[in-house]
Each structure stands twice: as structure tokens, then as C-alpha cells.
Amino acid sequence: MNLNEKFVVTLSREIGSGGHSVGKLLAEKLGVRFCDKDLIKGLRERFDLSAYEIEKLKGEKKSWLSDFLQRITPTPKAALLNDPNSIYIREFRPDVDTDDIFKAESEILRGLADEESCVITGRSGFFILRDCPNKVDVFITAPREQRVEHVMRKQDMNRETAEVIVTEVDKMRENYIKRYAGVSRYDTRNYSLVINMDGITEEQAVNIILEYLGAAK
């Protein structure tokens, strides 16, 4: 991947693997925008970007997302994002995605990738941006026990609850990917690089990705 040109790194991850933190740290080290599902959902809701409205904006000007991005530069305002400390609980009780919402958020994702180099976590980025040039797709996994303990620690909850959340979120994410991408998220052929977090830190995982990208300092 050529880091001297506009590029995209998509990062898919299992719940409790630390993948979200890996993506955020990776974006910081690369000096690019970090795009997660809260940003994408927040843009859609804050600016009322329905699939129809996005089509209208795209017809009016090429860089249709620029105005919206400028309003939240350099980083999204706190009001735009949900409390990150409740991420697992939110995913355990997710809003039901309609096809129209998926289409709108997919267009926002493409718009973000078109605007500038970025790191994108979740939201089927590897599939939605499959035709995007200069892109690398990464999948972050970890042993189940490690993921359960991560959820317990982050959310200060008991093991039984954490076990249920890991099981249910795994199932919901797999169903989501199969519904819209038509593939399993566990198929390693979807990705350029797969990292197992067993025995490594988030910092080490980022360094592995940077080395893969040819950007290790």
C-alpha cells in the first residue's frame, strides 16, 4: 500500500479483542482520521442524511461530505458520539438496521474514504469499500476467554453476563455481515492481515500493522 497517496485501512474485530483501541491508536500513529460506527451513525443522524438526501448531495457536488466533516474537524464533538464506556451494552441491545439505513451509512463510509486517508473500524468496511484502491483490510481476533475477561474488566460486570454478551454480539455481527455482504466475517479471505491478540498488547498489534503497511518507524 502506498502511504504517500490517499489510503484506507479497514479494521474488523471480535468483541473484547481490543480491536477498537487498536484502530484508534493506529489512526493516531498514521496521523489520519479514525472512523468508527458511532461517527458514521452520528453523521447520519446529526445531519439527517437519509439515502435519498445523500443521492441528492452527490448529484450537486463531488465532495458532498466535506461540509459535514469540516463541522466536526479535527475530531467529533462529544455530543456526536455515544458514551464509549457503554459500547458493549449498546451492542447487546442494538438498533435494528433497515436496508435504507445500511445504504445511507454505506454511502457515508464511501464518502469518508473518498475525502481523505483514514482508519475505519466495523460497519462491513472490508465489503463496502471492496473496490477502493490503496486499501488494506485487517481482522483482529482473540481467544474467547481473553475476550470475556476484557468485557468483564471494561464494563465491571460478572462473568455470566460477559459470556452472554460475547456470544450474542458475535452472533449479531455475523448475521449482519452475512445479510449485507453475503460472506462470513470469519472467512480470512476477506482480509489482507489477520492478527490474533493472544499474548500481545494493543501497541504490539499496531506495530505489526504498521510494519505490514511499510510504515514502521
Distance of CA 199 to the CA centre of its chain: 23
Closest CA to 206 of 144, 140, 142: 140
CATH class of the domain whose range is 8-213:
alpha beta
Alpha-carbon distance values, 50 to 43, 100, 112, 123 (Å):
10, 8, 16, 17
**Would you state the pLDDT for residue 204?**
97
Rounded to two decimals, the pTM is: 0.80
Low-confidence ranges of the chain (pLDDT < 50): 74-96, 216-217
Q: What's at 121, amino acid-wise?
A: T
Q: What is the pLDDT of residue 83?
A: 39
